[in-house]
A = this chain, B = another copy of it.
Amino acid sequence: MTATTHFEQPTMDDYPTRKGQQPALLYRKDPTVWNQAASGPMDSATLESYDAKGYLQIESLITPDELETFRSELSRLSSDDELKQDQRAVVERASDEVRSVFEVHTISPVFAELVRDPRLVDRARQILGSDVYIHQSRVNYKPGFSGTDFFWHSDFETWHAEDGMPRMRAVSISIALTDNYEHNGSLMIMPGSHRTFVSCVGETPEDHYRESLKKQEIGTPDQSSLSILADQHGIDVLTGPAGGAVMFDSNCMHGSSGNITPFPRSNVFVVYNSVENTCETPFAAARPRPHFLGARDFTPVK
């Protein structure tokens, strides 16, 4: 009984968030690279850099032919009227255009194959030091001229609070299907910020995900914490050609500017989580988000 009560204490949560009125900067309690010695496609310099910065870039991950295939598939999904009715599709109301499709590895055979590709999975395994499963997958389409910004956030904060992910032991990979310039709303990361957990204020509302997919307010870091992190770490704008990729830690502080240029941006995004870090009861929400946002099927990718 004592043990049970003990575990129910909120103080047992290393990453408390959305519990109080005061934001806080907390130390990370988990490694970033879980398996320094393990074999895999990346050399030790790459892993050390990932450990320090919380992200790494791969200049060319897929072939030009694959790039064409993925672009066509994205285009096919965007024009699928049936899919627009699916809750896994985020449709912009003003233009009726598809902006994101979640759980794309179950919707598209092309992307189902991609998420199992050793170029992705072997790297994820190498970083996380175990087998991995897919916590989330999606394609994003951010048009030119009017792409909106995405404010600073840590994915882990949401996954911990709303999906019940216990530890920082997940890695995201974003494969660029268009060129990322410094001017068209590319991913911005504060390098090194993954070592600090920003505990956010507020309480998660019921069905928060319906709003947060469009514009997140709860789970948003406060300006003072962001200023401290930005002064300490600076901000990297992650540019690179289509076909390249970024892998980044679940707790990186990241965001993106709007895009007034004519150049659209699209990418495929996959989150691998360690099979030793499967999701439990949410740490700060009444119930877990739907499976297409935070998987409840923990079958390892093989």
List, in ascending order, chain B residues with CB within 8 A of A235's CB.
181, 183, 261
List, in ascending order, chain B residues with CB within 8 A of A145's CB.
223, 226
Q: A145-B223, A223-B145 are in contact. Are A183 and B262 (CB under 8 A)?
A: no
Q: A145-B223, A223-B145 are in contact. Are A262 and B230 (CB under 8 A)?
A: yes
Q: How large is the interface on A (under 10, 10 to 19, 20 to 34, 35 or more residues)?
A: 20 to 34
Instruction: Give the distance in Å from the alpha carbon of A223 to the alpha carbon of B260 in the complex.
Output: 10
- Does any Cβ of B come within 8 Å of A188's Cβ? yes
Distance (Å) between the CB of A256 and the closest chain B CB? 8
Instruction: Give the distance in Å from the alpha carbon of A149 to the alpha carbon of B144 in the complex.
Output: 14
Distance (Å) between the CB of A233 and the closest chain B CB? 11
Instruction: Give the distance in Å from the alpha carbon of A58 to the alpha carbon of B145 in the complex.
Output: 29
Instruction: Give the distance in Å from the alpha carbon of A181 to the alpha carbon of B183 in the complex.
Output: 11
**Chain A residues near B (Cβ < 8 Å):** 144-145, 149, 151-152, 181-183, 185, 188, 223, 226-227, 230-231, 235, 237, 255-263
The 8 A-B pairs with the shortest beta carbon distances in the complex, nearest first, are: A227-B262, A182-B182, A257-B257, A230-B262, A258-B258, A183-B235, A182-B237, A183-B237
